Structure 1
Amino acid sequence: MPAYNSVFNASEPAPRLVGNFPLFPIRTKIRGPVYPLPFPDPPLPANESPDPESESYDILDEVLALFRANTFFRNFEIQGPADRLLVYGIWFVSDCLTKIKPNATLRDATKEVTNLALDLHFALPGDPAWPLNQMYEPPRDRQDGEILRQYMSQVRQELAARLLARVYDEGDAKPSKWWLSFTKRKFMGKGL
């Protein structure tokens, strides 16, 4: 059985690409280089995603929905630009989960995960530390590199907030054991 690919690979209009990394619009209040998608009306709880047919559904909802299923796969065929963002999102969620200790309160976990999301010293495609340089093209120039860094920072912050809402959906005393059971797994045998 193959891994789950992104439904956004066939999205119209096609997203802007930096190298071959897509800049999809996301549902967020965090400033960044892409326009934000509208929030669902009526508002949903923080630990829920909108319906996939909704205009508010974005690729970060898909990352969180496919994370647990795709984590079991060591091979993944990239079928379009959205899959590159999906792979990056899954790696980042894995990194976030390793920062959450089994007995951490929501406040402690928020501090750890937010520090990881706000750290601006992360690798971009083309850097020697990037896990899959053969599948990702580097940015064309320095300006594109800065736009990509801003977008990835925006994605990291929004993904961290949504993940914490799901991991602590039953209260802020203890994280969900079901989510933390994936801390030892590495998607495609790699990580950020």
Structure 2
Amino acid sequence: MPAYHSTFLGEESQDTRTIGNLSLLPLNTKYRGPAFESNSDYDIIEETLDLFRANSFFKNFEIKGNADRLLIYGILFTSDCLSKISKTMSHKESTRVLNNLSLDNFALPGDISFPLNSLYLPPKTRSDADLLRSYLTQFRQELAERLLNRIYKDDSNIPSKYWLSFTKRKFMNKSL
């Protein structure tokens, strides 16, 4: 059975901005950044969270387009977020930890410390690198917030064991 791919592959058009081979898709977000506002309620972040648990079982992933690369990045970041949350953390503590994680300095494609350089092309110019960094920061902030909303949906003091059970899984045997 193959892994689940992004539904936004067909929506990549001439209007979609790409840096390297990573699509900058529209987001529904309250955070400031370069992402365009999405026209629908379902965006790449919702898709990432919906497909995370199913795709985390796969060690191989065939990339069919640039939207799949953003999906991979989102799944790996979600995995990092889950590894930072413990079973005894409250929603407030987890929010602080994940905000720090999403705003931390991180490697971009092309950097030596970026783990997926074989799958991603580096940005061509310095301005493209800055745009990609600001887009991914906005993406990470929104993803962390929506993940916390799902993890603490039932109880604000105890995270969901169904989400935390995926802390040891590594999608494609990689991590950011």
TM-score by length of 1: 0.89
Separation of aligned partners in 1, 2:12 and 2:132: 21
Separation of aligned partners in 2, 1:34 and 1:67: 22
- 1:83, distance to aligned residue in structure 2 (A): 0.3
Corresponding residue for residue 97 of structure 2: 112
Separation of aligned partners in 1, 2:99 and 2:35: 21
- 1:129, distance to aligned residue in structure 2 (A): 1.2
Separation of aligned partners in 1, 2:12 and 2:169: 33
Residue pair 1:29, 1:36 contacting (<8 A) in 2 also: no
State how many pairs are aligned: 175
The alignment status of 1:27 with 2:28, answered yes or no, reads yes
Corresponding residue for residue 144 of structure 1: 128
Corresponding residue for residue 96 of structure 1: 81
Separation of aligned partners in 1, 2:62 and 2:140: 23
Corresponding residue for residue 9 of structure 1: 9
Corresponding residue for residue 43 of structure 1: none
* 1:119-159 deviation digits (Å, cap 9, x = unpaired): 1x101001111111111000001000000000000000000
Question: Percent identical across equivalent pairs?
Answer: 55
Residue pair 2:84, 2:98 contacting (<8 A) in 1 also: yes
Q: Give the one of 150, 160, 170 matched to 2:154.
A: 170
Corresponding residue for residue 53 of structure 2: 68
* 1:32-59 deviation digits (Å, cap 9, x = unpaired): 1122225xxxxxxxxxxxxxxxx22101
Q: Which runs of structure 2 are paired with 1:50-89 in the superposition (5 Å)? A: 55-89=40-74
Amino acid at match of 1:7: T
- Unaligned stretches of 5+ residues in structure 2: none
Residue pair 1:118, 1:153 contacting (<8 A) in 2 also: yes
The 3-state SS of whatever aligns with 2:23 is strand
Separation of aligned partners in 2, 1:172 and 1:57: 25
Amino acid at match of 1:173: N
Separation of aligned partners in 1, 2:107 and 2:152: 29
TM-score by length of 2: 0.97
Separation of aligned partners in 2, 1:30 and 1:59: 15
Separation of aligned partners in 1, 2:38 and 2:24: 13
* 1:96-125 deviation digits (Å, cap 9, x = unpaired): 001111111111111111110111x10100
Amino acid at match of 1:136: Y
Amino acid at match of 2:170: K
Residue pair 1:18, 1:148 contacting (<8 A) in 2 also: yes
- 1:12, distance to aligned residue in structure 2 (A): 4.8
